[in-house]
């Protein structure tokens, strides 16, 4: 699959953009584990043009994580254009526009998935950004605002006509948020449109080898994007890439998994500071499959998620690892 000049190979599996998750450390680890392309956290166009430090930090890309997309969101064409130009100077491989974020503070203000209720403005933003930069521009969106307005088949063609180089579709409406099951049949309908020619990336509920195989073989997408299933589980990319290629993946050992978790903790601290770095990593620790099935784990889990220093956290992890490995 190619996005403009970027060759991602056959059946690429990508890391989805996720706020407070896909920092540069996690992106790099996922890339090393097999992700074909990675996406930054959401970048607010308004905050970017105001030069907010926490936002501009999101533009930092490590050489080893490429190809990398920086994703921006906003609700006004002129602001999005200015932000896109700033992003282009940061040197990503492509710029992605977020028309899919369902959270109230984004969609409720007319950005992200909120633009599914104002398609003319969505298209105006897309055309303006495409025309303003030389980098490839892509879009990530949802099926529609709610069950009664699944407009994605028509919308996909309209976005293509604006000049985007690829489209990612999350198989839920905005009203669903992250509940229910992703509707891959409707994603497949986008691909079945003979007038739709650009690469289609499917997103939603990809957690297993079988789901990856179905995405490519049954629903016909060109690429797959993995989001929540990767949180705390970066090794999932090696497993899913093997499945996409029809191979049996090598099991990731317990020691390897612990090493990756410890690395994430250290790098999170290095990127920010000890206190905030540990706060940031708690979401990964809470979600990881590494601790599933451990008997009488509740008290240890609480202690782990309350730890406020690296020394405290390392001691708890040593205890857990020793218990598992005997």
Among residues 16, 101, 200, 226, which one is catalytic? 101
My answer on whether 177 and 265 are in the same domain is: no
Dihedral of the alpha carbons of 42, 48, 51, 55, in degrees to the nearest 10:
0
Which CATH number goes with the domain that contains 61?
Answer: 3.20.20.70
316 within domain boundaries: yes
Mean pLDDT of 171-184: 95
Q: What is the pLDDT of residue 293?
A: 86
Q: What is the pLDDT of residue 136?
A: 98
Q: What is the pLDDT of residue 290?
A: 92
Q: Which residues, in sequence order, are bridge partners of residue 97?
A: 72, 139
147 within domain boundaries: yes
pLDDT per residue as tens digits for the range 115-140:
999 999 999 999 999 999 999 999 99
Nearest to 262 by CA among 273, 278, 250: 278
My answer on whether 218 and 299 are in the same domain is: no
- pTM given for the model: 0.95
Q: Per-residue pLDDT for 326 more than 70?
A: no
My answer on whether 94 and 196 are in the same domain is: yes
pLDDT per residue as tens digits for the range 264-313:
999 999 988 999 999 999 999 999 999 988 988 999 999 999 999 999 99
Of the listed ranges 7-16, 99-108, 162-171, 247-256, the one predicted with least confidence: 247-256
pLDDT confidence tier of residue 167, bands split at 50, 70 and 90: very high
My answer on whether 179 and 296 are in the same domain is: no
Q: Find the domain containing 80 and state its range.
A: 2-244
Q: How far is CA 241 from CA 36, 199, 208, 210, 249, in A?
A: 9, 18, 11, 12, 8
My answer on whether 129 and 21 are in the same domain is: yes
Q: What is the pLDDT of residue 250?
A: 81
Q: Per-residue pLDDT for 163 more than 90?
A: yes
Task: Count structural domains, the chain.
Answer: 2
148 within domain boundaries: yes
pLDDT above 70 covers what percent of the chain?
Answer: 100
Q: Is the four-CA dihedral 220, 93, 157, 146 of positive or negative sign?
A: positive
188 within domain boundaries: yes
My answer on whether 195 and 261 are in the same domain is: no
Of the listed ranges 26-30, 96-100, 278-282, 321-325, the one predicted with least confidence: 321-325
End-of-domain residue from the set 198, 226, 244: 244
Q: Is the four-CA dihedral 141, 146, 151, 152 of positive or negative sign?
A: positive
My answer on whether 75 and 109 are in the same domain is: yes
End-of-domain residue from the set 183, 217, 244: 244
Q: Per-residue pLDDT for 324 more than 90?
A: no
Q: What is the pLDDT of residue 249?
A: 80
My answer on whether 82 and 155 are in the same domain is: yes
My answer on whether 264 and 152 are in the same domain is: no
Mean pLDDT of 233-252: 90
End-of-domain residue from the set 244, 271, 302: 244
- For the chain, the three-class secondary structure string (H helix, E strand, C coil) is CEECCEECCCCCEEECCCCCCCCHHHHHHHHHCCCCEEEEEEEEHHHHHCCCHHHHHHHCCCHHHCCEEEEEECCCHHHHHHHHHHHHHHCCCEEEEEECCCCHHHHCCCCHHHHHHCHHHHHHHHHHHHHHCCCCEEEEEECECCHHHECHHHHHHHHHHCCCCCEEEECCCCCCCCCCCCCHHHHHHHHHCCCCCCCEEEECCCCCHHHHHHHHHCCCCCEEEECHHHCCCCCHHHHHHHHHCCCCCCCCCHHHHHHHHHHHHHHHHHHCCHHHHHHHHHHHHHHCHHHCCCCCCHHHHHHHHHCCCHHHHHHHHHHHHHHHHC
The length of the chain in residues reads: 326
My answer on whether 16 and 153 are in the same domain is: yes
pLDDT per residue as tens digits for the range 197-234:
999 999 999 999 999 999 999 999 999 999 999 999 99
238 within domain boundaries: yes
84 within domain boundaries: yes
Mean pLDDT of 105-110: 94
On average, the pLDDT of the chain sits at 95
Decide if 162 is catalytic: no
My answer on whether 109 and 187 are in the same domain is: yes
My answer on whether 237 and 320 are in the same domain is: no
249 within domain boundaries: no
């Amino acid at each position: 699959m190619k996005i403009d000049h970027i060759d991602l190979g056959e059946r690429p599996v990508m890391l989805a953009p996720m706020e407070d998750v896909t920092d540069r450390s996690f992106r790099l680890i996922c890339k090393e584990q097999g992700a074909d392309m990675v996406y930054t956290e959401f970048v607010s166009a308004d905050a970017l043009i105001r030069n907010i430090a926490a936002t501009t930090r999101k533009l930092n890309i490590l050489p080893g994580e490429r190809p990398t997309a920086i994703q921006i969101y906003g609700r006004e064409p002129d602001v999005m254009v200015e932000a896109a130009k700033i992003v282009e100077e940061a040197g990503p491989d492509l710029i992605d526009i977020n028309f899919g974020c369902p959270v109230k503070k984004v969609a409720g203000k007319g950005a992200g998935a909120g633009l599914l209720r104002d398609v003319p403005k969505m298209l105006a933003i897309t055309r303006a950004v495409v025309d303003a930069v030389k980098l490839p521009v892509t879009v990530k969106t949802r099926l529609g605002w709610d069950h009664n307005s699944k407009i994605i088949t028509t919308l996909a063609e309209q976005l293509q006509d604006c000049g985007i180089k690829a489209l990612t579709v999350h198989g839920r409406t905005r009203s669903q948020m992250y509940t229910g099951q992703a509707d891959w049949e409707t994603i497949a309908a986008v691909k079945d449109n003979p007038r739709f020619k650009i690469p289609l990336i499917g997103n939603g509920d990809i957690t297993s080898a079988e789901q990856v195989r179905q995405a490519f073989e049954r629903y016909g997408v060109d690429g797959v994007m993995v989001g929540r299933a990767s949180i705390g589980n970066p090794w999932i990319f090696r497993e899913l890439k093997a499945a996409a290629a029809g191979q049996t993946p090598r099991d990731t050992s317990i020691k390897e998994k612990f090493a990756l978790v410890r690395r994430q903790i250290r790098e999170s601290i290095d990127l920010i500071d000890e206190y905030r770095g540990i706060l940031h990593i708690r979401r990964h620790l809470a979600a990881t499959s590494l601790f599933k099935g451990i008997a009488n784990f509740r008290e240890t889990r609480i202690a782990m998620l309350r730890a406020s220093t690296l020394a405290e956290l390392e001691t708890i992890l040593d205890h857990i690892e020793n218990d598992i490995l005997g």
